[in-house]
């Protein structure tokens, strides 16, 4: 699963190959097919695990501190870490770019990841921007999520982590990020 995740984060879902995955892991592709009969099954499992890991991380941020700055720094840091780790993208972010090509089961899991991010950010905005309506908080949460994913994408395309850092700093300065 880890090797498949790395493949998708660096090449996208369409770059995921059972043959190359088997070669990298040192097993036969039939062994992979035994556990994941289709590429869609593997992609959905990857996205589901990624979402579960993301949920645990985000919950830990909120339970580990009462400081909003710690929450938001941790949130942007996880996207930054993917870039630091061989200039990778967020798994579900890169899959979202290929959304039309994804099997339904993968789309469903990618949508769950996107919803998780918007839901978590909406909860954060409830704390720091209580004057907003629920709909306004959800809209801002979506804008924040899209902006952070976008910053990651542009930084990856330039192979320059400073682009990400400067963009996130600008988001904070203009008030997009709490």
pLDDT at site 143: 98
Residue 105 buriedness (CB in 10 A; 0-12 / 13-18 / 19+)? middle
pLDDT at site 168: 98
pLDDT at site 149: 98
Residue 84 has which token pair?
A: 């630091």
- Return d(Cα 55, Cα 105) in angstroms, integer: 19
Contact criterion met (CB below 8 Å) for 8 and 88: no
pLDDT confidence band for 9 (50 / 70 / 90): very high
Whether domain 46-174 has CATH 3.40.50.720: the reply is no
Contact criterion met (CB below 8 Å) for 122 and 129: no
List the chain domain ranges: 46-174
Indicate the pTM of the whole model.
Answer: 0.94
Sign of the Cα torsion 7, 10, 13, 15 reads negative
Mean pLDDT of the chain: 97
Contact criterion met (CB below 8 Å) for 138 and 117: no
pLDDT at site 20: 95
- Return d(Cα 122, Cα 113) in angstroms, integer: 14
């Amino acid at each position: 699963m880890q090797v498949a995740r790395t493949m998708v984060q660096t090449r996208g879902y369409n770059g995921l190959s059972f043959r190359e995955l088997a070669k990298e892991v040192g097993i036969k592709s039939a062994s992979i097919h035994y556990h994941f009969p289709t590429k869609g099954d593997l992609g959905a499992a990857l996205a589901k695990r990624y979402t579960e890991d993301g949920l645990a991380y985000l919950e830990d941020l909120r339970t580990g501190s009462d400081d909003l700055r710690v929450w938001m720094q941790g949130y942007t840091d996880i996207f930054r870490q993917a870039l630091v780790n061989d200039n990778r993208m967020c798994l579900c972010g890169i899959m979202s770019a290929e959304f039309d090509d994804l099997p339904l089961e993968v789309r469903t899991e990618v949508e769950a990841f996107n919803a998780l991010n918007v839901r978590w950010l909406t909860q954060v905005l409830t704390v720091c921007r209580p004057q907003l309506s629920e709909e306004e908080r959800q809209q801002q949460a979506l804008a924040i999520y899209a902006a952070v994913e976008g910053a990651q994408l542009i930084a990856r395309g330039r192979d320059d982590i400073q682009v990400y850092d400067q963009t996130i700093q600008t988001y904070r300065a203009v008030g997009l990020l709490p």
